[in-house]
Amino acid sequence: MSRVRDSDEGACEAGSSPCFMHELGADGTSVVDPQQERDVVRWRKVYWPIRSEPDLRAWMQARCERGTRIALPVAVAHGQPLTFREWQPGARLAHGLWRIPYPAEGQEVTPTVVLAPVVGFDRQGYRLGYGGGFFDRTLAVLRPKPLVLGLGYPCTAIATIFPQPHDIPMDRIVTGTTSGVLPGRN
């Protein structure tokens, strides 16, 4: 199976299989701090993994079983913000752009927490994705502004992504080995 991991020398090995998040252990899927765990259940926007993104499907199922309402993004047109629909285990899925699954039925919801995959990230909280601009376009219009957590691997950290005016930084980056508030954010 292909993997993304840090080697002993600090090099990054990347693969195409998204189904390995469980290999990071409990810390790799703990994206909610203990206080948030005790807060009221809120909408959490997650994503269906593609390529070598962290696979949160088991975490999503476990959170649903505990009462968390999970939403997946719906991307059906280029150049448009994402919309979100509630997901539950066993939900019928349709396929949007790049054949990414999303809940085939249900009304649109607004997440209060957004988990965004990162292909790369910098210390200022800016992320690299696959270049479609969907997350930035979406975050620019979501009201109220959600807490935005970038999820990736330590080996994908870079000095800068050279952010453009339309880029929106994450509030936190979670890598499985580190997590924290980024400079200038709470």
> Kind of pairing, strands 93-95 and 83-87?
unpaired
Structural domains counted in the chain: 1
Backbone angles phi, psi at 141, to 5 degrees: -110, -10
Mean pLDDT, range 142-167, rounded to an integer: 91
CATH number where 48 lies: 3.40.50.10420
- Cα radius of gyration (the chain): 16
Chain segment 5-27, per-residue pLDDT in tens: 444 444 454 432 332 233 333 43
Residue 56 belongs to some domain of the structure: yes
Please tell me whether residue 75 adopts helix, strand or coil conformation.
Answer: coil
Give this prediction's pTM. Answer: 0.69
Q: How confident is the model at residue 50 (pLDDT cuts 50, 70, 90)?
A: low
* Structure token digits, residue 169: 């930084």
Distance CA 94, CA 63 (A): 22
- Parent domain of 91: 5-31+42-179
